[in-house]
Every structure is written in C-alpha cells, then in structure tokens.
Amino acid sequence: MSEKKQIQVPVMADLAARGETPEVLFWVGCAGAFDDRYKNVTRAFVRILEHVGTKYAVLGMEETCTGDPAKRAGNEFLFQMQAMTNIATFDGYGVKTIVTACPHCFNTIKNEYPALGGNYEVIHHSTFLQNLINEGKVKIAGGGEFKGKRITFHDSCYLGRANNIYEAPREVLAALDADLVEMKRSRANGLCCGAGGAQMWKEPEPGNKDINVERAEEAIGTGATIIASACPFCMTMMADGVKSQNKEDSVQVFDIAELIAQAEGINA
Amino acid sequence: MLVALVGIGLFVWQIRKIVRNINMGRDKTISGNVSERINTLLLVAFGQQKMFKRPLPAVLHLFVYIGFIVINVELIEILIDGVFGTHRILGVLGPVYSVLMAINEVLGLLVIIACVIFLARRNLTKVPRLTRGPEMRAWPKMDANVILITEIVLMLALFAFNIADQKLAQLGGHQLPGAFPVSGLMVDLFGSDVNTLQVIATVGWWVHIVGILAFMNYLPSSKHFHIITSFPNVYYSKLEPKGQFSNVESITHEIKAMLDPSYVVPPAPEGADPQKFGAKDVEDLTWKQLLDSYTCTECGRCTSVCPANLTGKLLSPRKIVMDTRDRMEEKGESPLIFDPAKYTEESERVKATEERTLLRGYVTPEELWACTTCNACVESCPVNINQLSTIIDLRRYLVLEESAAPASLNTMFNNIENNGAPWAFSPSDRFNWADDLYTGSKN
C-alpha cells in the first residue's frame, strides 16, 4: 500500500534566517514554476530530492527569469539586467551549487553568468539523476513499470550540442530497463524541437511545415510509446507535435525525472 | 622564371586585399589554450574529422586533399627544373624519388576519379545541398565546376608529360629516374615520333605549371580559397561550449554604472568609434566572423541540417556566410576575377531598402528570426565556421538599435521586465507549484 506524505519545500530565505546552507539550490525556472505540464516535472524532481535525502532549497518567490530568451532574441541589455539581479541573489545566499531541470537555464547560468561575475557549479538534472543512480541512491528495483516499454529520447539542443551532454539522460533511462530506441537524428545530429532561440514565444516564420511536427513524426516513426525529454520547451513542442498527428492516446511525452519518480514509486 | 614570379606576385597582391577586407572587422582577441587549438587544428583541419560524418564525400575529398599535398612535391621539382633548366632534378633522391613519383601517379588518378564523381554529384545527380537554395546562384555553381575541371586538366597534363617523357627516354635508350605505375601502362599512347613526343611533353609540362600558377590566382575569387583559410579558421575556432554566446561588454559597463554610480567605465581605446550594439554591416562583425566567410566551401552541410531550412523557412546559414563575403568584397576590395558588382543577380537577391548593408540589403529580418539557435549548423561545419554568432549579432542590432523585434518577442521582453518571467504570470504565483505537494512510497 502506498502512503502519502506532504512535502514542505525548503525556501532559501527561511534556511538563511536559521543560519543553514543547503548543499544545492534547486533552480526551478519559469516553465517549472508556471507551465501547468512542467510543474509536474518540478514536483517529480522534488520528490526525488526528498526521497534520497539531498539537502536542497529553492528560491521561491525570489526566482526570476535567467534572461535566456532575451539573450537568444538579441536583447543583451535585458539579459544582463536579469543576470546581474540573479547573481546578486545567489551571492547574497552564498550559493555554490545549482541544479536545474531546464537546459536553457542550465546553459545560461553555467556558461554566460561567469562573464558577469557569477561563478557556480551548475548541474543539469539529467547529470544529477545519473549520479543518484550510479551511487545507488535511486535503485528502481527490476526497472519498475517501464520495463520493456519502447522509449525514445529526444535530445535538447541546449543540453546536447550546446553542452555536450548526450549520455547522462540516456543512462538515466537505461535504469528503467526499457527498450530504448534512437531516432535517426540523435545526439550531435539531433533535430531541434523548434522552440530554441526564443521561438517559444513567437509564431514560426512562414514555411511549409512546423519543426515540432517534423520531429514528432520522426519520434513516432520509431514505434516508441514514450518520448522522453529533458527540457520544458522540448516537452511542449513534442507534445503539440504528437497531438498534430492525433497520436496523443498512444504516444506520451515525459520528462526523465517523471519517469524515474514513477518507476521508483514515489509519485503521489 | 618570369611566369613563376608574375604568378606568385599577383597572388601576394590579392592576398593583401583579402587581409585588408578581413581587417575591416572588429578587433577580438582570440588567444590561449594553444595545445587545445593545435589539437583541434590537427583533428578538424589536417585530419578532416568532421568531413567523416558523411563517408562518401569524405573519402573522395581525402583523395583530392592528399593528392594536392603530395603532388606539390612534384611542383617544387617542376619549378626548379623550369628556373634552372634541369630535368627531373629530384631524381638524385633515388629510391625515395621513385616512391614519391609512384604515390603521385596513384593519387593523380584518384584525384581524377574523385573530381569526375564530384562533377556528377553537382551536375547529374544534383545532390540537393550542392545545388539548391537562393544562394546557389550562377557564380557559385560555375566556380565549383571550374575548380573540378581545372583539377582534372592539371592531372591530365601531368600524366601526358610523364607518358611522353618515358617514351622519349625509352627511345633514347636510357632509364628515367622514378617509378610510374599509371602512366607506365600507357607509354605507347602517343606513338613513337620524337618530335610529337617532345611537343606533348613540353605542352604537358607547361600546362601543368602555368595552370597551377593561374589556379593559385583564381583561389582568392573562389570557394577553393578554403585550402588556405581553413587552417587559421580552425585554429581560431571557438573552444567554449557552443551554447555560450558572446558577452557584450559595453552593455555590462553601462548596467554596472547604472546600478552603482561610483562605477568607473574603462575608457574606450584612443580613436575608436563608439560601438554600435550588434552588427548592421560587415565592419560590425569581428575579423573571425569575416575570416569564416572566406573559409566557407559552400558545401551546404549547415543548411541541410538547419531545422528552419528543412521546414521551408527562408533561413539558410550558408547564405548568411556567403552574403557576408559578397558584401565585404562589395564594400572593401574585390579579388582579381570575382567582382560582386558584376555577378550579383539582383532579381534573385533581396533588394536593399534604403541603404545597402549586410542587414536588410543582403540578410533579411525574416531569415534571422527563423533561427532556433540550435547549433546544428555550427556542429556540421567541416571548417568550424560559426554561422550562429553572425545571426545573433545581426539580431542584436535589430533589437537594440532599431527596436525591430517581432511584436510577440517585445511582449516576451516586457513580461520578463515586469513579471520576471517570459509569460504573463504574476510573480506572486511563482511558488504555487509547491502547494499540496505529496510524495508516495511503495510500502
């Protein structure tokens, strides 16, 4: 029988008031905080953090956009304003390590904040989950409910090509003992979901097809029943692409953290 | 001797023009990490690592590349023979010479085979990335064919010279230094008339040497210039993660001064113009971005993997790189043969609005806004061109200098400024996801 336990998510300001410092700051990101679908990923990741006993905290209301979409769209001024605000917050709490489930936040904080004076160890949740599995903290005895299911992983550009992280999410999925299949365009040759570069916030330019439809067709073509992703924008784009093919009943899109939490039996 | 001097002199004169063009770009210090740079140079430039993502063209290109390097040893001999009136002077190397000549001949044959297949791919099977796209106008198409045909002619001239030279030696009853596994099979091809053979040998020799000098002077007008520029371009390629976009330092100073009135902005270097934000024209790009465009082989790998291009949008990363070069030569100096003013096909090109600059005159905002910044183009480029950095600099000009972002992006900017998120959500709802959060356990 499963029993439910309520989680009080620790907030940085409260910890600081008590003179405590967490091991890691979990950076939720705007999608993780506001997007109805991606809030599930945030919750799943928090369940995992609680499950393994990581000392973590979130910024709560103090979080604000990293500036990624502004920078990709060419608005360097707005980006730097956001970055400096966030750096001041991080440094105010003495933050050293940051984990996030968003490859765009990850890339921006890790690679672009140092030039503005913000130096932190930044970990994407795929690498974080991989470490938990390697350390035996997440066991998923027997692979859990995804054993033998056909899963294909869609590479996020800002995780893959942008930061050369291709294996971590795949090793996380390997723990599910599922039937992992690759799309023809994968890893360094992966096809973008269409949302990067601030496309998420605008209509596509005129063309003959939407990029996410092209990618969803490729994913569906593998015969997978689950498309795994590790990025909030990829998740939206792939889910919409699957819907455009009227396949939403047979093909589902999940984040790797959701799959792990589900397989570990800690979803509630 | 005279021919060689004129050929080399002209080439140097053209190189100086190109160096001046590249120097139109902004200064940017790219230094450090020498060992990593040399490693990249050896793998990507000398080792052609990134070509091997597509094995067939990679192997064929490898033949032409090695052929070019090895056959140049024979070129040294031809130049010495020509200047000093000697005959096969390197024959003194004995067995080494034989091995060299043998390798030369085999490679020469492979170069011909590769070039014939390349011609077929461009003109018969019409491989899409080599033939399609608005940037593949008449000049780039002709340029590719000129290069391939010239290479075939140069190789044929070399074989003709070797065949006639061997037959002449045979008729004269002496042994020619060297080994000739290919032309040796065709010794009797041109008959045994001494006069005819002498003419063929002389013509073959001259066609090869004059051809090479002429070809060298054609390079600066051609995509074939990559045989020189790809090495420095790869050496100076970006080593940081691909997701890391450049920081605009002048903005950093401005914001710091805004937040802290006591912050002292470091003075700009003497005589420097106040910098625009982003790039409107070629001189707003860095010298590396301009070198990129002189390194482009117009192979179209970038465009063929671009998600925007694949789904019918106007964006083609290759076009942006080629446009940069055309605009640079229009504004700066043009090489000997290619004069953009002469070859620009206005009807196919976007008409300049009021001024002819790289932005709008060549590259339209529609192309720039189609980019997803996915880095597929950068990943695919065999000579480490960074197409994305140019796209972003042009976007920066549109947004920061012209406030010309699409309306929906302006909404996104406003949301970030006002609510701290790119969507119109209230900041007070940011932590709602943690309400009523439960965890389960298996037992």
Q: Do B439 and A4 touch (CB under 8 A)?
A: yes
pLDDT in tens, A62-73: 999 999 999 999
End-to-end CA distance of chain B: 92
Chain A to chain B Cβ contacts (< 8 Å) = 246
Q: Is residue B268 part of a domain?
A: no
Q: Do A2 and B441 touch (CB under 8 A)?
A: yes
pLDDT of residue A43: 98
Q: What are phi and psi of A253, to 5 degrees?
A: -110, 125
- Of the candidates B241, B392, B440, the beta carbon closest to that of A266 is on B440
Residue of A nearest to B375 (CA): A161
Residues of chain B below pLDDT 70: 269-274, 338-355, 442-443
Q: Which residues of B touch A74 (CB under 8 A)?
A: 278, 392, 395-400, 405
Q: Is residue A22 part of a domain?
A: yes
Q: Is residue B181 part of a domain?
A: yes
CATH number (domain holding residue B319) = 1.10.1060
Residue of B nearest to A80 (CA): B252
Specify whether A192 is located in the same domain as A150. yes
- Cα(B30)–Cα(B44) distance, integer angstroms: 18
What single-letter amino acid sits at A186? S
Q: Which residues of B touch A202 (CB under 8 A)?
A: 369, 406, 408-409, 412
Specify whether A63 is located in the same domain as A18. yes
Specify whether B213 is located in the same domain as B282. no
Specify whether B191 is located in the same domain as B310. no
Place of tokens 């061997």: B166
Which pair of tokens denotes residue B424?
A: 């119109």
Q: Give the residue from A93, A128, A163 where a domain finishes.
A: A128
Q: Is residue A246 part of a domain?
A: yes
Pairing of strands A150-153, A179-181: parallel
- Which parts of B332-396 fold into alpha helices (H)? 340-343, 365-369, 376-380, 387-396
Specify whether A23 is located in the same domain as A111. yes
Q: Is residue B408 part of a domain?
A: yes
Q: Do A205 and B370 touch (CB under 8 A)?
A: yes
- Of the candidates A1, A65, A196, the beta carbon closest to that of B421 is on A65
pLDDT of residue B175: 81
Q: Is residue A83 part of a domain?
A: yes
Q: Is residue B403 part of a domain?
A: yes
Residue of B nearest to A39 (CA): B433
Q: Which residues of B touch A50 (CB under 8 A)?
A: 439
Which pair of tokens denotes residue A83?
A: 């970055």
Which of these ranges, A78-82, A138-142, A191-195, has the smallest mean pLDDT?
A138-142
Q: Which residues of A touch B398 (CB under 8 A)?
A: 74
pLDDT of residue A164: 98
pLDDT of residue B355: 65
Four-residue CA torsion sign, A237, A241, A243, A248 = negative
pLDDT of residue B354: 55
pLDDT of residue B340: 61
CA distances from B95 to B66, B73, B104, B178, B253 (A): 21, 15, 14, 7, 66
- Cα(B394)–Cα(A192) distance, integer angstroms: 22
Specify whether A100 is located in the same domain as A163. no
Q: Give the residue from B194, B221, B248 where a domain finishes.
A: B221
H/E element holding A225? none
Q: Do B408 and A208 touch (CB under 8 A)?
A: no
Q: Is residue A268 part of a domain?
A: no
Q: Is residue B11 part of a domain?
A: no
pLDDT of residue B272: 59
Four-residue CA torsion sign, B195, B200, B201, B203 = positive
pLDDT of residue B277: 94
- Of the candidates A43, A73, A82, the beta carbon closest to that of B433 is on A43
Q: Which has the closest alpha carbon to B402: B360, B432, B431, B374?
A: B360
A228 three-state secondary structure = strand
Q: Is residue A6 part of a domain?
A: no
DSSP state for residue B137 in the 8-state scheme: -
Q: Which residues of B touch A197 (CB under 8 A)?
A: 371-374
Q: Give the residue from A73, A103, A128 where a domain finishes.
A: A128
Specify whether A192 is located in the same domain as A228. yes
Q: Is residue B34 part of a domain?
A: no
ipTM over 0.85: yes
Specify whether A112 is located in the same domain as A199. no
Q: Is residue B206 part of a domain?
A: yes
Q: Cα B190 vs. chain centroid, distance in angstroms?
A: 41
pLDDT of residue B443: 47
Q: Cα B78 vs. chain centroid, distance in angstroms?
A: 29
Q: Is residue B107 part of a domain?
A: yes
What Rg do the C-alpha atoms of chain B give, in angstroms? 28
Count CA within 13 A, CB hemisphere, residue A79: 28
Specify whether B151 is located in the same domain as B215. yes
- Of the candidates A61, A64, A70, the beta carbon closest to that of B413 is on A70
pLDDT of residue B442: 60
Q: What angle do CA B97, B67, B237 make, to 5 degrees?
A: 125
Specify whether A17 is located in the same domain as A38. yes
Specify whether A18 is located in the same domain as A123. yes
Most A-contacting residue of B363, B394, B430, B443 (CB-CB within 10 A), to test interface: B430
pLDDT in tens, A218-233: 999 999 999 999 999 9
pLDDT of residue B270: 62
Burial of residue B264 (CB within 10 Å: 0-12, 13-18, 19+) is exposed
Number of domains in chain B: 2
Q: Is residue A182 part of a domain?
A: yes
Q: Is residue A52 part of a domain?
A: yes
Specify whether A161 is located in the same domain as A200. yes
Q: Which has the closest alpha carbon to B147: B212, B204, B203?
A: B212
Q: Is residue A163 part of a domain?
A: yes
Q: Give the residue from A87, A107, A128 where a domain finishes.
A: A128
Range of the domain at B406: 277-415
CB distance B180 to B105 below 8 Å: yes
Residue of A nearest to B279 (CA): A74
Shortest alpha-carbon distance between residue B305 and chain A (Å): 8
Number of domains in chain A: 2
Q: What are phi and psi of A151, to 5 degrees?
A: -125, 140
pLDDT in tens, A144-187: 789 999 999 999 999 999 999 999 999 999 999 999 999 999 99
Range of the domain at A225: 139-263
Q: Do A201 and B369 touch (CB under 8 A)?
A: no
Specify whether A18 is located in the same domain as A41. yes
CB distance A48 to A125 below 8 Å: no
Most B-contacting residue of A40, A72, A262 (CB-CB within 10 A), to test interface: A72
Specify whether A221 is located in the same domain as A166. yes
Most B-contacting residue of A52, A157, A203, A264 (CB-CB within 10 A), to test interface: A157
- Cα(A216)–Cα(A231) distance, integer angstroms: 15
Place of tokens 């913000």: A118
Q: Do A63 and B430 touch (CB under 8 A)?
A: yes
